[in-house]
Amino acid sequence: MFLCNAGINIRGGDKMKEIFEKAQGYKYNSVAYKDLEDIGEVSNENIFEIDRAAFIAEETSKGMQIHWGAESVENFIDGISRVIAFINDRNKENKRIFTEFIPPEFVEHMESIGFKIVSEWVDFWVKDLQGVEVSTSSFEGVRQIKENEYEEASKVLRSCAGCSREFVGESEQWVKEWNESENSCILVAEINSKLAGVCCLSIYGFDSENGAVLWLREIGVAPEYQGKGIGYALIEKAFQWGREYGAKRSFLACDVENYNGIKLYEKLGYRRKDERGQIDMAKY
């Protein structure tokens, strides 16, 4: 069914899949690499279609995240402005509005309606994983995670919240699912029988003519152990694991303001791609 509010069509519950697929089909969108299952439960009143644009507003612990697709910057700015107005009319609390994958040419328009950049994830690559020369770390306490350590690994990652913009860590369930997924692995650094660091890895692109890619998905060192070379040791072992399972290259994404992280990655042979990265913006 269709309900109308301030010129906005609000789709009924069974239209969620349709609106998601429409968003994916637009020239610009934030859901090109998402599955519908990646979005949590969304009420009917938070699903919108407006003038060649589609929006799904998901309630999260940090506020409202808007997943979107639009044919032009004009369609996007007009649509998201009306969606926010509708949300604010319904709920007077000042909630954080967050959205991902903003094209660089949209940024100035977003800033004009009160958004600001909260993270920008740029790509770093090691183009020849077999040939990269890395000094051997003196830290020997790196190994693969055990099944009974998922909770402790989650605590390490959560302890790193805020070390990079928008990084909040991962749940125990996420750690379990990642480690038990095909072609994935979690390495941990141990000091005095306690986990001090965690590195989450995966390999993809086995059919690529350029070779499979070792993806450094996430790395965290507990604050009390930072500055001791543990991050370096984790990535060194990650390279070994990747080579063992056929990876020819390595990729990671890092926020442009994570200066300590970038210094470490460049020391290990990663080089930043020239273009801008994934821009995420929020309005408070």
**Who's near 88: CB < 8 A, 6+ residues apart?**
none
Is the distance from CB of 249 to CB of 214 less than 8 angstroms? Answer: yes
Beta bridge mates, 171? none
Across 243-264, b (16+ Cβ under 10 Å) vs e yields eeeebbbbbbebbbebeebbeb
At 92 the pLDDT is: 67
Residue type, 284: Y
Residue given tokens 């303001």 in the structure block: 257
At 4 the pLDDT is: 36
At 95 the pLDDT is: 80
At 1 the pLDDT is: 24
At 94 the pLDDT is: 67
Indicate the CATH number of 122-276 among 3.40.50.2300, 3.40.50.300, 3.30.420.40, 3.40.630.30.
3.40.630.30
At 136 the pLDDT is: 87
pTM listed for this prediction: 0.86
At 154 the pLDDT is: 98
At 90 the pLDDT is: 81
Q: Which CATH number does 2-114 carry?
A: 3.40.630
- Map out the domains of the chain as residue ranges: 2-114, 122-276
Q: How far apart are CA 171 and CA 176, in angstroms?
A: 9
Q: Quick check: helix, strand or coil at residue 76? A: helix
Tens-binned pLDDT, residue by residue, of the chain (284 aa): 223 344 444 444 577 899 999 999 999 999 999 999 889 889 888 999 999 999 999 998 889 999 999 999 999 999 999 999 998 888 767 689 999 999 999 999 999 999 999 999 999 999 999 998 888 888 999 999 999 999 999 999 999 999 999 999 999 999 999 999 999 999 999 999 999 999 999 999 999 999 999 999 999 999 999 999 999 999 999 999 999 999 999 999 999 999 999 999 999 999 999 889 999 999 99
